[in-house]
Amino acid sequence: MEIYFLGTNAGVPTLQRNVTSVALRLLEERRSFWMFDCGEGTQHQVLRSPLRLGRLEKLFITHLHGDHLFGLPGLLSSRGYQGGTAPLTVYGPPGLKAYLDISLSVSQSRIPYKLEVVEHNGGLIFEDDSFKVESALLEHRIDSYGYRVIEKDRPGSLNTERLKAYGLKPGPLYGVLKSGRDVTTDEGITITAAEVLSEPKRGRIVTVLGDTRPCGNSIPLAREADLLVHEATFSHDLARMARDYHHSTTVQAAEIAKEAGARQLLLTHFSSRYGSLDELIPLLDEARSIFSETLLAEEFRLYPVERKTGN
Q: Please tell me whether 65 is known to bind a ligand.
A: yes
Q: Please tell me whether 244 is known to bind a ligand.
A: no
Give strand ranges (E) for the chain: 2-7, 21-26, 32-36, 56-60, 88-92, 115-119, 123-127, 131-137, 145-151, 183-184, 190-191, 205-208, 227-231, 265-268, 294-296, 302-304
Q: Please tell me whether 247 is known to bind a ligand.
A: no
Q: Please tell me whether 211 is known to bind a ligand.
A: yes
Q: Which of 303, 299, 300, 302 is nearest to 17 (CA)?
A: 299
137-220-270 Cα angle (round to 5) = 65
Q: Please tell me whether 44 is known to bind a ligand.
A: no
Question: Is 67 labeled as catalytic in the residue annotation?
Answer: yes
DSSP string, 217-242: THHHHHTT-SEEEEE--B-GGGHHHH
What is the dihedral angle through the alpha carbons of 105, 108, 109, 114, rounded to the nearest 10 degrees?
Answer: 60
Q: Among the options 37, 67, 143, 226, which is catalytic? A: 67
| Residues belonging to the active site | 67
Q: Which residues are annotated as a binding site?
A: 63, 65, 67-68, 140, 211, 269
Residue list for the binding site for Zn(2+): 63, 65, 67-68, 140, 211, 269
